[in-house]
Every structure is written in C-alpha cells, then in structure tokens.
C-alpha cells in the first residue's frame, strides 16, 4: 500500500513538472493531448471495460460536443456559456443514443453505435450551414478562467491536468462504489443481476451518461486545443482509435486507458516525425500487445512482474492473509 | 393466504406447450418438491414464477398479491429469491463479493456511485454472516474461480438466503454434489426457518423426499399427481412416468 502511495506521488510530481523537464513547448502540447485523450479513453472504458458494452461511435458524441462548442462561440456566446450549452446538448444527445443503443448488447450494440457514429459523421460533412462541411469550424480564442489565459501552452497543460486528475478521481471513486459493483455485475451476469433485484437497463443507461460526460469534457478540451473541428474528428477511425487506446492499455482497469492514450498519442505525434510509416508501427505494436498481453499493457505488465518475482500468492496463504 | 399461487398458467414455445394449464398452491412455510422427467417443464415453470419468462395466460400470486405483470427484478423486492440449476455466479470476484451483490440488490445503496462498497461495514458483516451460515465463512475472500462445485452450490444458496426471501425457489440444489456435500446442503436447507416457504426442483430422490412435505409431479407441462409424500410415491402414475418400476 505504501509503495502504491509512493508511486502515485512520484507520478503526480512528474505530471506537474512536465513543462520543466520536457525539451520544449511542442512536448508540453503532446502532454496536453495525452491527457485529454486519456479522459476520452477513461470515458469509453466505463462502457467497454466496466459495462461490457463496446461502442464504436464514441467519436460521434465527441464531435457533437466539439461542434456545439464551436457553433455556440460563433453565435456570440461567451466561453463559459458556450461550454455549458455544449455539455447540455451532448448529454441530451447521449441520452437519445443510449436509449437507441441499449435495445441491444454485444454485436448489436456495436452495430447501432457504429451506425449512429456514421450518421453524425454524415451530418457534420453535409450540413454545411451548421458545421461548415469540409472546411470545419474555427475557434478564434481560448478561454481565460480566473485570469489565466489558456492561449499559453503551459497554462493549457495545467488546466487539462487539473480536469484529468478530477476525472481520474471520479473514476477511482466510481469503480469502488456500489453502483460500480452493480455495473460490473451486469457485465458478467445480467440475468442474475435482474433476478437479484437490479434494474439492468437503468444501470447501463446511467453508465452511458457517465461515459458520455467524460467524453464531452475531453471534447471541450480537444476543441480548445486545436481551435478547429472538422468531420474527420467524427470518423469511424477516430472511434476505433480510442477503442484501441482502451483495449491496448487494459479495458476494465483504472490506468489502462491512460497508458493506451499515451501510447497512441506519442506514436501519432512524436514518433511520426521520425518514421513515415507510423501507422504501420502502431499496428505492429497492437499486434505485439495482442500476442504478448491480450489483457492489455497494464494488467499484462502486472502479470509479468509477478511471474518474474514469483510474487503470486497461493490461495491458501492469500486466505490466511485476508483473515489476519 | 397462500405463499405462492399459480393459476391456469400456460406457456408455449411455438407449437410446444411447455406449461399447460398448471395450477399450484403453496402454503406459507410449506416445503414443496417438484419432480418430473427431463423436459417436463420444471425449470420453465420456475422461470414463469420468477418472471424471467412471460406466461401466455394465467396468473401468479405471491403472498396474495398478483405479480403476473410485475417485472422479475421487482419480484426480488417483494420477497422472492431463486437459485439456478446451471450455476450463475460472478466468477471474477470473491465469494464475499458475490454474496454482497445479492444483498446490495435489495438496498437503495445500489444506486450510490460515491461511497466505497468495501468500507460499508454492515454489508461486509452481513455477507460474512451469511457465508458462516452455509459453512463458507473461512474462505470468504477466495476468488470464486478457485472454489469447488459444491462450494459454488452453497454460495448460490447463501445469495438467496441473504435476501431474506419469503418464498425461496431452489432449482436442483443437489445436482452434481458428492454424498458428503449433499448431506451438508440438506442440513443447510433443513435449518432454514419456517417463515420461509420453499419450492424445490430436485432429482436426487433420497435427499429430496426426506425434505419435502408435498410433492407435485409434472409431465409434458401438466400436473399429473399432487399430494403428500406417501400419496405421490404410492401413486401408480408416479411409478409409470418418473420413478420406474
């Protein structure tokens, strides 16, 4: 337990110090990207990892928030108002998408979310009066909460870090809570959960809303980071990319999606500067993960670590420890 | 007032009538055994009673209340609990967590996303007590995946008992158990107080007959014989379709 606490403190210190130890502004921006994509992946992990519902349309909701923020700013709203309205629109959209998708689970759920994502992508592409079509929407400024202008890369990084840490804490509380336990129960034995008195559909619905909230928060950070939104953001490849973050890092774990997000963003931005065929590299990495650690990087590393040190306790000693 | 009443219950899958005009009346505190050859519709009858299947016609009353149109999750809150013939447990979690989930299902706390479940002392204590009751207290923190089949059967029963049911439906609680394990489970069931009504499906006649007061024999979805232990065993139709000569 103390080693865990120590690791947390070290990780926190490393994250806070990022602007001081990375070689330049470019890398601070990479750090911001990792953090908001990590929030996105944490949100998707609520469904993929803890609810057992694989969504291939999450980039659609991400896009709804991003476009809504951009459009509200174009209409002349201030930043706080624009963000608030965008989040409300996103939550209403998520409720509708959840009501449609939760008619099914398994493959059916994947296909419905995929279809919804494609519809949203089509709308972004064709509804030119609202979205600007292929040209997208540009945001002229970033907000300046409490007098800190987020136009500065370091300030933006710290704002993202604060929101990231809050999201991570929310996730940590969520997975230990009775509701989190109920959600994981519906993932493993939905029929049994129903017989035990749980409203399986409602539990999944609320999980969708929580997942959608994290997704939308990350989308607000994204759209202020790039100050630009185009239909590409909603494409199927974007949904698949976040799903890969979750699965490669370790679905159903707290830290897995963060590691996955870091992996994908680093390969996409930093490594792509050195290797032209970075897509190929990313694919090769995923194949290696699937072969060596099918459960994902985080649980896989833990497993290898235990094997290396032979720290895996036998059931008998574990019970004895639990008793004492 | 009866604990459980089933009136003219019918269910067909396509042309196959699996429950054909079944009537059942179980008194409070009664121990009822339901027997019948494979495919007689015993588990289907359970699924109709618990609401996991919707009947084509007929009615189910629990403690005098018509629950025919009550969703199955609500029936747990009204005092009905069941175990499954095919064990359906949470394999990734500990035994203690399995039982805690059963308990949580009836608590308003199940919607709470903010508290730490492991720190809710009363949940942990209750779950531990329920496991002590079925003789699994010493391995409460063992992952379910590392338990034996007989232990899992007892976890199923602990999960049903912790919900404090008024009517308990047991679907083959002795299936696949060794002689020793059967004796343990039988003693466990005999210790359940009389304010719990028990309806049990079972094939192990030696243990089941000892336990049951009244017996219902199902065959092709119909009740053929019903009565007390001696009557049903002596009935020639029981010998013909079930016990054999």
What whole-number percentage of chain A has pLDDT above 90? Answer: 74
Mean pLDDT of A194-219: 97
Q: Is A231 on the interface with B (CB under 8 A)?
A: no
Domain residue ranges of chain B, discontinuous segments joined by +: 1-79+165-245, 92-164
Residue among B57, B55, B76, B59 nearest B67 (CA): B59
- B1-79+165-245 belongs to which homologous superfamily? P-loop containing nucleotide triphosphate hydrolases (3.40.50.300)
Asked if A121 and A231 count as a contact pair (C-beta separation under 8 A), the reply is yes
Q: Count the neighbouring beta carbons within 10 Å of the beta carbon of residue B69.
A: 10
Residue pLDDT, tens place only, A62-84: 999 999 999 999 999 999 999 99
Nearest Cβ partner for B73 among A189, A199, A318:
A199
Best of B94, B110, B116, B167 to disrupt the A interface by mutation (most A CBs within 10 Å)? B110
Residue pLDDT, tens place only, B22-52: 999 999 999 999 998 888 899 999 999 999 9
- pLDDT at residue A312, rounded to an integer: 53
User: With a CB-CB cutoff of 8 Å, which residues 179-208 of chain B face chain A?
Assistant: none
What is the Cα–Cα distance from A186 to B164, expressed in whole angstroms? 22
Q: Is B116 on the interface with A (CB under 8 A)?
A: yes
**Is the CB of A197 less than 8 angstroms away from the CB of B115?**
no
The answer, yes or no, to whether residue A313 has pLDDT greater than 80, is no
What is the Cα–Cα distance from A322 to B16, expressed in whole angstroms? 52
What is the Cα–Cα distance from B62 to B160, expressed in whole angstroms? 17
Most confident of A200-209, B77-86, B108-117: A200-209
Report the DSSP pairing between strands B65-66 and B222-228. unpaired
The answer, yes or no, to whether residue B88 has pLDDT greater than 60, is yes
Give me chain A's average pLDDT, please. Answer: 91
Nearest Cβ partner for A181 among B77, B104, B138:
B104
The angle at the Cα of A179, spanning A178 to A184, to the nearest 5 degrees, equals 95
Helix (H) or strand (E) holding B130: helix B121-133
**Is the CB of A177 less than 8 angstroms away from the CB of B143?**
no
Domain residue ranges of chain A, discontinuous segments joined by +: 28-239
- pLDDT at residue A318, rounded to an integer: 52
The answer, yes or no, to whether residue A314 has pLDDT greater than 80, is no
Nearest Cβ partner for A178 among B72, B110, B146:
B110
Residues whose CB falls within 8 Å of the CB of residue B49, separated by 6 or more in sequence, listed in order: B4, B6, B60, B80, B169, B199
């Amino acid at each position: 337990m103390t080693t865990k606490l120590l690791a947390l403190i070290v990780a926190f210190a490393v994250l806070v110090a990022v602007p001081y130890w990375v070689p330049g502004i470019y890398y601070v921006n990479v750090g911001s990207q990792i953090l908001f994509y990590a929030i996105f992946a944490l949100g998707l992990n609520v469904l993929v990892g803890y609810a057992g519902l694989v969504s291939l349309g999450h980039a659609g909701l991400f896009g709804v928030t991003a476009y809504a923020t951009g459009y509200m700013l174009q209409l002349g709203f201030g930043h706080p108002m624009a963000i608030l309205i965008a989040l409300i629109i996103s939550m209403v959209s998520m409720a509708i998408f959840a009501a449609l998708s939760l008619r099914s689970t398994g493959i059916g759920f994947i296909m419905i979310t995929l279809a919804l994502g494609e519809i949203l992508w089509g709308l972004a592409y064709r509804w030119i009066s609202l979205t600007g079509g292929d040209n997208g929407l540009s945001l002229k400024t970033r907000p300046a909460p409490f007098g800190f202008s987020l136009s500065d890369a370091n300030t933006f990084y710290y704002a993202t870090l604060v929101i990231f840490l809050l999201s991570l804490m929310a996730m940590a509380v969520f997975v230990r809570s009775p509701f989190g336990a109920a959600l994981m129960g519906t993932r493993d034995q939905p029929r049994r959960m129903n017989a035990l008195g749980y409203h399986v559909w409602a539990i999944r619905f609320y999980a969708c809303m929580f997942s959608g909230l994290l997704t939308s928060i990350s989308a607000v950070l994204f759209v202020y980071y790039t100050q630009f939104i185009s239909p590409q953001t909603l494409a199927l490849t974007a949904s698949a990319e976040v799903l890969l973050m979750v699965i490669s890092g370790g679905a159903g774990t707290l830290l897995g999606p963060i590691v996955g997000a870091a992996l994908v963003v680093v390969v996409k931005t930093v490594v792509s500067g050195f290797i032209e065929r970075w897509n190929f590299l990313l694919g090769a990495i995923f194949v290696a993960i699937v072969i060596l650690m099918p459960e994902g990087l985080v649980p896989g590393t833990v497993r290898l670590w235990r094997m290396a040190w032979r720290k895996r306790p036998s059931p008998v000693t574990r019970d004895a420890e639990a008793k004492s | 007032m009866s604990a459980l009443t089933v009136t003219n219950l019918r269910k067909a899958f396509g042309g196959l009538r699996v429950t054909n005009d079944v009537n059942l009346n179980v008194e409070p505190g009664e121990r009822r055994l339901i027997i019948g050859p494979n495919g007689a519709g015993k588990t289907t009858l359970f699924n109709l009673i618990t609401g996991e299947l919707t009947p084509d016609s007929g009615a189910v009353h629990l403690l005098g209340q018509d629950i025919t149109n009550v969703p199955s999750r609500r029936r747990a809150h009204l005092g009905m609990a069941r175990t499954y013939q095919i064990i359906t447990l949470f394999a990734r979690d500990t035994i203690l967590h399995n039982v805690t989930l059963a308990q949580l299902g009836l608590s308003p706390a199940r919607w709470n996303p903010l508290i730490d479940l492991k720190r809710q002392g009363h949940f942990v204590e209750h779950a531990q007590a329920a496991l002590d009751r079925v003789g699994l207290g010493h391995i409460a923190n063992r992952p379910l995946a590392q338990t034996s089949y007989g232990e899992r059967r007892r976890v199923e029963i602990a999960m049903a008992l912790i919900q404090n049911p008024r009517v308990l439906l047991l679907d083959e609680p002795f299936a696949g158990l060794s002689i020793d394990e059967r004796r343990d489970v039988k003693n466990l069931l005999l210790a359940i107080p009389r304010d719990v009504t028990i309806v049990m499906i079972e094939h192990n006649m030696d243990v089941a007959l000892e336990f049951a007061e009244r017996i219902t024999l199902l065959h092709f979805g119909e009740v053929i014989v019903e009565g007390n232990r001696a009557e049903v065993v002596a009935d020639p139709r029981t010998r013909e379709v079930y016990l054999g000569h």
